[in-house]
Structure formats: structure tokens, C-alpha cells
Amino acid sequence: MSNIEDLIDKLAQDTTTVKPAPHPFALSAKWMLTAAVYLAVSLMISGPRFDIETKLHDFWFVAEMAALLGIFFATSLSAALLSFPDMHQKRRAVLAPAVAFVVFIGVMFLSWQADSPPAPLPRHSFECSMMISMLSLLPAVWTFFQMRKFASTHSLWAGSIAMLFAFSIGAIWLRLDEINDSIIHVIEWHYLPMIAAGLIGMWLGKRFLKW
């Protein structure tokens, strides 16, 4: 009996305080704030497009940026929730990116219809996708590193949403930086690559977020 009591006392003395995990909403807010700072610094270095003030009075440009920010917010929240095994019992919130993408597709379709006559295509093409990917690399690595601290049981979707979150940061930056009004070009080389980013994120999630 004394041995058991000694063991209990020893175990009680060896206990260490475990820091509780942050709430997903707080975690999402932290990620968005960090991303906003990163985006602001990137724009300070590259400089915004010279006609930014004029574009902020363009209804369809503002609608596009608002829809893109919706993807940014939704993917951040969903990725934070997917970091936890039970998603904090907020399965509907996890699906927020689906709603955001539906809205975004609708806005881009209407913007394409309104682009008449169409704006001239820029001389470059895939370079935009490369620039977005390069700027998204650091946020992607940082987000995956943060998510590995938790215990996601949905590694495929967690990785995909994390990559879409990072890609949206690069997409926002380039839209504010590049002098380009061709909606066809923007759809083809800025936004369609999001599909590839999501698929790559699934592979990365399976490899780095599975436990």
C-alpha cells in the first residue's frame, strides 16, 4: 500500500501544466493578422499599382477584391477548425470556403460579362501564376507549421484549405500590384491555378498533417 501511495505522490509531483489550445476563432484571427502584415510589407516593397485609387472606384474590381477577401477569411477559419480532431463541433463553418468560392465564381462571371469590349490581354501569361505561387510559399510553410501543432483528423482537407488560404494571399497581392484589367487573363492565370494549389495541398496534408 505504501508503494502505491509513494507512486501516486511521485506522479502528482511530476505533473506539468499543459497550456490549453487556443480557440479556432482566435487561431484564425491570428493567422489572418499575420497574413495581413505580410501582405502589407509585400505591397510596400513592390508598390501598389499606380491606378489603385481609380480602381477602388471601379465596382467590379471592388466586388472581385471583396469576394477574394471572402475566400481569405473563409479558408483561414476552415483551416483553423480542421486543425482540431473534432473541428470544435462546427462542421458548417468548416464548409465556409465552399460558399465563398460560389460567390467568387459568380462575381467573376458577372465581371467577365461586364468587360465589354474586353480589356486587352497583357503580354505575359504564366508569369502571374508563378509570382502568386512564390509569394504564397512563405505563408503556406508557416500555416502548415502552425497546423502541425494540433491534431487534425482530416489531413487531406486541412492541407488543401491551408494551401488555398496561402494562395489567396498571393492572389490579393498581385491584383493590387499588377497593372492589368483583362478579366480573361485574371481568371486563367490568377484564379484557375487555385485548383492545382488545392490538389497539391491535399498531398502535402497527407504527408505532413497526418498523425
> What number of residues does the chain have?
211
User: Range of 183's domain?
Assistant: 22-208
pLDDT of 211 higher than 90: no
Report the distance separating Cα 106 and Cα 109, nearest Å.
5
pLDDT in tens, 91-137: 899 999 999 999 999 999 999 999 888 888 888 888 999 999 999 99
Asked if residue 132 belongs to a domain, the reply is yes
Residue 46 lies in a domain: yes
Please give the mean pLDDT across all residues of the chain: 90
Q: What are the helix and strand counts (H, E) for the chain?
A: 10, 0
Kindly state whether residue 1 falls inside one of the protein's structural domains: no
Q: What is the mean pLDDT of residues 34-60?
A: 94
Residue 92 counted as domain residue? yes
Q: Centre a 10 Å sphere on the Cβ of residue 141 and count the other Cβ atoms it contains.
A: 11
3-state secondary structure of 6: helix
pLDDT of 117: 87
Structural domain includes residue 6: no
Q: Is 5 among the domain residues?
A: no
**Cell numbers that stand for 30 in this block:** 491570428
pLDDT band at 176 (very low <50, low <70, confident <90, very high): very high
Residue predicted with more confidence, 73 or 126: 73
Spatial CA neighbour of 82 closest among 134, 20, 31:
31
C-beta of residue 210 within 8 angstroms of C-beta of residue 156: no
Number of domains composing the chain: 1
Asked if residue 83 belongs to a domain, the reply is yes
